[in-house]
Amino acid sequence: MISHIVLFRPRRDTTPDDRRAFVAALEDAFRQVPAIRRAVVGRSLPGDNGADFPYVAVVEFDDERGLQQYLAHPLHVPVARLFHHTCAATTIVNAETMDAREPLSGLL
């Protein structure tokens, strides 16, 4: 499985309309892009990197091909545009992940 992990901090001057547009674009993409296996979003807990990155999104795919399909999908275009328009800082990690309830012998 591939996890697309995005930590982000909105710009202070982002308007409520821009935030609503960004959330709507995320909802559309996360609900309609067939390559997405699972998507979760949330807020960082106090004491973590919440000051630097108060929000997180984790999008899961079966494989790297699924990630590439998502990044090339027309519904990702407004997500990327609004993400860059509304975010002051971000960290993105694409990782090969596995269910930790399964044997982890192939991980290390």
Q: What is the pLDDT along the chain (108 residues), one digit of tens a residue?
A: 999 999 999 999 999 999 999 999 999 999 999 999 999 999 988 776 567 899 999 999 999 999 999 999 999 999 999 999 999 999 999 999 988 887 777 666
Confidence at residue 62, expressed as pLDDT on a 0 to 100 scale: 96
Handedness of CA 28, 36, 76, 72 (dihedral sign): negative
98: tokens are 């596995």
Strands 2-10 and 36-43, how do they pair?
unpaired
- The phi-psi region of residue 47 (left if phi > 0; otherwise alpha if psi is between -120 and 50; otherwise beta) is left
Q: What is the CATH number of domain 2-96?
A: 3.30.70.100
Confidence at residue 106, expressed as pLDDT on a 0 to 100 scale: 67
Confidence at residue 47, expressed as pLDDT on a 0 to 100 scale: 74
9: tokens are 């901090």
DSSP symbol at 55: E
